[in-house]
Amino acid sequence: MKRVAICAVAQHKIESDIWYKRFQGMLLDVLEDLQQQTGFVFGGDKGVNNIVSCSDDFFDARTISNNGVCDAIGAHYRGEDKMAQEGLNGIGYAMSLILSGHDEVVYLPAHCKESQSESRNVITNQAYDPFYCRCLGLDFLNVAGLQARAYMNKAKITEEQLAKVVVRARQWAARNPYANETRQVELGDVMYSPMLCDPIRTLHAYPVSDGAVALLLASEKRAYEFTDNPVWITGFGNCMDSYFLGDRDLAGNFALKRAAAQAYKMAGIKNPKKKVNLVELMDCYAYQQPLWLEGLGLCADGMGGKFIDDYGPAQYNVNLSGGMLTGRPLMIGGLYGAVEAVLQLQGKAGEHQAADIDCAVVHSTTGGAGQFHTVLVLER
Amino acid sequence: MAEKNRNVAIIGIGQTEYSSHKEYQNQPEMINEAVRAALKDANLTLDDIDCIVHGNMELFESVFQPDMWHVLGSGAFGKPAFRITTGGTTGATVVCAADNLVASGMFDIVMAIGFEKLQEAGSTTAGITNMADPLWYRHKQTGALTSAEANNIIEEFGADRARRAAMKLRIMMDKNATLNPRAHRRFGLEYDQMEDLMNTSPPLVGELRLIHMCSQSDGACVMIFACEEKAKAISSHPVWIRDHIAVHKEEMVANNYAYERPETSHHRAASQLFARNGITDPVEYFDVFEMYDPSSWWGLDWIREFFLLKDDEHIRMVENDELTIDGKLPLNPSGGVTSSNPIGATAMARVAEVALQIRGEAGAHQIKKEVKHGLASGFGGTMWTVLIMLEKDLDW
């Protein structure tokens, strides 16, 4: 298979309420940043003719959210497809535009302002069917609470281990100028923070976040026109689990294991433990970091607690950006992870740069309690 | 477009009936009916499907990330899946997405799903109005109900000729729909009712009357796509996707009606698509065109835009019966969108109908002469276009 490159990335500083700027303005900022980095243009034989955007009708509170950003993403008189899942899937889809021969260069802008809704839980409650689950009050927070309990029982996760995840995330976030929540905390602060949705505590949950990102993808032939050190997409996979919580093994990672297997197979990775040296995963809640690491095959099943005590997350450079836990918007949490992984592979991560990174895994999840997972493998 | 990596064919089609109410089915059940029909049509099972693409306009039914619930009927359990949406064009966009995903080599067989249950939306017009910018345009928008296009046509050709042409087109669509058991609205209109309808159909906005406007429908359309190697092995009548193009436009719809009218997205898409495929006379080349015609006024004007016609050539085609099912270039043999409009499925149903016509399996509304080259359009957003070219033979 031919290769597809991510040539450059741009990101908006994440904040909990960017009230002073509309999302169109945020998208213009990342577009101009990316054009300055790469000099890419729209239209013509050599420019971008198709755009893969990512946004969400519910978070934007408007039907066809992408029509509100058409001009701000360069889509006037051009093709544009909106990824309506978490944006990391947009990279997989943009890859198909290039590999199919339809395009040589694809622009991928994305935005999400969680602050615009009164409550994220009101939106995620709408993900449940109007007959059985919605009226029970299910939303992504309380189904995560059920999953957290199931997983903590299975893997014998302690409050202290969860606190370690949060403390470490914020230490790294402090080095990332784009991160949202950088206030430092100690183990006790986390362990005794107010209960949000048992067993998830306030400091276990990601803060409300607004942000926007942009990426430029190109075919192998064209990539070097835009950058000297392209990052290659070598693997992609995603997978859907069943809907009803009772039909699923909440602590079992069924969908994530399949998505990862697909991505590793495409990348030719037989043993991820030996090959992967950077991980950006979408940990909306602290318990998800060890759970998803099990699903990615970097930690043995049911051993997530011990993995934290043994400094496993540090060994694999997990979420050196601070990760989802320190605040990323739900619909583009994985895309922010991809941006971070690209910067790390290009050696441009600044104060949180890790040494000798050559193979990164980026993960994201869509739906409640990880119903759907996406895995991307990036290599230098 | 550079060289396509590999050819892609449509090998399975499944549609529900389109109707105003489907109280007996919830969303996953309605989708499941079309999924089963498509699998049966392709003679495949779910195990053969490598990936599923899902799309609709989620704020109509107010289900956030509806593919999560719909896994109960979509067959996506344990499989790779994408959800891609572009408003009214969604059905055509997911066809393009499935084509891209197969052509890329990432998947061999992809199933695309488009659906809508507008009954659960309550008011489609309110839902569409909600697309307008809350600060600048929302208080001015009336959904997709507009007289602007009618006014333009009347200004150009005079009220009597314009009104007659639009109503004749509407009755022509109804005659096709009457032959199609899946169509939602089948009135059995006759051409001698033209004068009557022009005066008695309830007015909506200006020159737009209820009879001109598309319906509010429930339904699902599912199509299965395969790479050339598998399509030839599996299917006795694959229909090939030759090319597709999407053209979006800026949010400010009013610019389309400025003193100097900008090029329409339909015209831009058609001229680029035809140029890169070496088609100089589209009216001669195509044997069928399924157009996303949200109203008879839009449909009338857009014949000119899509076929790159001049002056009153499009009106004459209507007046001279060239677009009827037995005409030179049959338009919407299915009855089109004024007959059935389950929005997220609507644009896909255009592609499905063209494929059925090429296969010669459309039933009572099958075009009598051989159909080899077909064109399907999608319409959505703020005047957006998707155009898809289908072929009977792999010989272009």
Distance CA A240, CA A258 (A): 9
Tens-place pLDDT, residues A156-176: 999 999 999 999 999 999 999
Q: How confident is the model at residue B66 (pLDDT cuts 50, 70, 90)?
A: very high
Tens-place pLDDT, residues A293-305: 999 999 999 999 9
CA-based nearest distance B293→chain A, Å: 19
Q: How confident is the model at residue B182 (pLDDT cuts 50, 70, 90)?
A: very high
- Pick from B171, B172, B150: nearest CA to B161: B150
CB distance from A76 to chain B under 8 Å?
Answer: yes
For testing contact with chain B, the best of A81, A86, A123, A254 (most B CBs within 10 A):
A81
Residue from the list B81, B104, B250 with its beta carbon closest to the beta carbon of A240: B81
Token pair belonging to B308: 């790159």
CA closest to A258 among chain B residues:
B78
Residue from the list A57, A63, A104 with its beta carbon closest to the beta carbon of B128: A63
pLDDT, mean of residues B326-355: 98
Give the torsion sign (CA, B350, B355, B356, B357).
positive
| Dihedral of the alpha carbons of A21, A26, A32, A35, in degrees to the nearest 10 | 180
DSSP helix/strand/coil, A112: strand
Token pair belonging to A322: 């601070």
CA closest to B76 among chain A residues:
A240
CA-based nearest distance B60→chain A, Å: 8
Token pair belonging to A236: 């992609």
Annotate A281-327 with DSSP letters as a single string: ---SBTTHHHHHHHHTTSS-TT-HHHHHHTTHHHHTTBTTT--GGG-
**Cβ–Cβ of A83/B250 closer than 8 Å?**
no
**Cβ–Cβ of A75/B268 closer than 8 Å?**
no
Q: How confident is the model at residue B252 (pLDDT cuts 50, 70, 90)?
A: confident
**Cβ–Cβ of A71/B250 closer than 8 Å?**
yes
Give the torsion sign (CA, B348, B353, B358, B360).
positive
**Cβ–Cβ of B106/A99 closer than 8 Å?**
yes
**Cβ–Cβ of A239/B80 closer than 8 Å?**
yes
**Cβ–Cβ of B87/A131 closer than 8 Å?**
no
Contact B356, B13 (CB under 8 A): yes
**Cβ–Cβ of B131/A82 closer than 8 Å?**
no
Token pair belonging to B96: 């393009």
Tens-place pLDDT, residues A98-144: 999 999 999 999 999 999 998 999 999 999 999 999 999 999 999 99
Q: What is the pLDDT of residue B1?
A: 52
**Cβ–Cβ of B131/A62 closer than 8 Å?**
yes
CA-to-CA separations, B52 to B95, B113, B187, in angstroms, rounded: 11, 8, 36
Residues of A in contact with B69 (CB under 8 A): 127-129, 243
Residue from the list A75, A79, A101 with its beta carbon closest to the beta carbon of B5: A101
Residues 94-153 of A with CB under 8 A from B: 95-102, 104, 123-124, 126-131
Q: What is the pLDDT of residue B300?
A: 98
Token pair belonging to B204: 């909506």
Domain boundaries, chain A: 4-117+208-223
Question: Does the pLDDT value for residue A350 go beyond 80?
Answer: yes
Beta carbons within 10 angstroms of residue A73's beta carbon: 28
Distance CA B27, CA B4 (A): 35
Tens-place pLDDT, residues B297-319: 999 999 999 999 999 999 999 99
Q: What is the pLDDT of residue A148?
A: 98
**Cβ–Cβ of B105/A61 closer than 8 Å?**
no
pLDDT, mean of residues B221-242: 98
**Cβ–Cβ of B85/A63 closer than 8 Å?**
no
Question: Around A47, how many Cα atoms within 13 Å sit in the side-chain half-sphere?
Answer: 12
Distance CA A244, CA B77 (A): 12
Counting beta carbons within 10 angstroms of the beta carbon of residue A190, is it exposed (0 to 12), middle (13 to 18) or buried (19 or more)? buried
Distance CA B52, CA B96 (A): 13
Contact B95, B223 (CB under 8 A): yes
For testing contact with chain B, the best of A57, A66, A100 (most B CBs within 10 A):
A100
Residue from the list A66, A128, A262 with its beta carbon closest to the beta carbon of B80: A262
**Cβ–Cβ of B248/A372 closer than 8 Å?**
no
Contacts 24+ apart (CB under 8 A), A264-271: A264/A235, A264/A237, A264/A297, A264/A375, A264/A377, A265/A235, A265/A237, A266/A1, A266/A234, A266/A235, A266/A236, A266/A237, A266/A377, A267/A234, A267/A235, A267/A377, A267/A379, A268/A234, A269/A235, A269/A359, A269/A377
Residue from the list B81, B83, B268 with its beta carbon closest to the beta carbon of A77: B268
CA-based nearest distance B216→chain A, Å: 17
**Cβ–Cβ of B68/A236 closer than 8 Å?**
no
CATH architecture of A4-117+208-223: 3-Layer(aba) Sandwich (3.40)
Count of A-B CB contacts under 8 Å: 201
CA-based nearest distance A83→chain B, Å: 5
CB distance from A333 to chain B under 8 Å?
Answer: no
Provide, rounded to the nearest whole percent, the portion of chain A with pLDDT above 90.
99
**Cβ–Cβ of B77/A262 closer than 8 Å?**
no
Average pLDDT taken over every residue of chain B: 96
CA closest to A265 among chain B residues:
B106
Residues of B in contact with A73 (CB under 8 A): none
For strand A4-11 and strand A231-240, is the pairing parallel, antiparallel, or unpaired?
antiparallel
CA closest to B58 among chain A residues:
A57
Q: How confident is the model at residue B2 (pLDDT cuts 50, 70, 90)?
A: low
Q: What is the pLDDT of residue B121?
A: 77
Token pair belonging to A330: 């739900």
CA-based nearest distance B88→chain A, Å: 9
The H or E element that residue A119 is part of is none
CA-based nearest distance A220→chain B, Å: 14
pLDDT, mean of residues B35-39: 98
**Cβ–Cβ of B78/A240 closer than 8 Å?**
yes
Residues 205-264 of A with CB under 8 A from B: 236-244, 254-255, 258-259, 262
Of the given ranges (B249-263, B285-299, B310-324), which has the lowest mean pLDDT?
A: B249-263
**Cis status, amide bond into B342, omega within 30 of 0:** no
Bridge-partner residues for B54, per DSSP? B83, B113
Q: How confident is the model at residue B256 (pLDDT cuts 50, 70, 90)?
A: confident
Angle (CA) A120-A121-A125 rounded to 5° is: 125
Of the given ranges (A35-39, A188-192, A247-251, B123-127), which has the lowest mean pLDDT?
A: B123-127
Q: Which of the 8 DSSP states describes residue A14?
A: P
- β strands within B233-283, DSSP E: 239-247
Residue from the list B59, B68, B384 with its beta carbon closest to the beta carbon of A63: B59
CA-based nearest distance A39→chain B, Å: 22
Question: Does the pLDDT value for residue B130 go beyond 80?
Answer: yes
Contact B328, B283 (CB under 8 A): yes
φ, ψ of residue B137 in degrees (nearest 5): -120, -20
DSSP helix/strand/coil, B271: helix
Q: What is the pLDDT of residue A2?
A: 87
Domains belonging to chain B, first-starting first, are 8-123+216-234 (3.40.47.10)
CA-based nearest distance A353→chain B, Å: 32
Please, what is the end-to-end C-alpha distance for chain B in angstroms? 15
pTM: predicted TM-score of the whole model, two decimal places:
0.97
**Cβ–Cβ of B86/A101 closer than 8 Å?**
no
CA-based nearest distance B317→chain A, Å: 28
φ, ψ of residue B51 in degrees (nearest 5): -160, 150
CA-based nearest distance A293→chain B, Å: 19
Tens-place pLDDT, residues B74-98: 999 999 999 999 999 999 999 999 9
Q: What is the pLDDT of residue A53?
A: 98
CA-to-CA separations, A146 to A150, A153, A197, A298, B244, in angstroms, rounded: 6, 11, 9, 24, 45
The ipTM, to two decimals, is 0.97
CA-based nearest distance A28→chain B, Å: 15
- Pick from A244, A278, A283: nearest CA to A377: A278
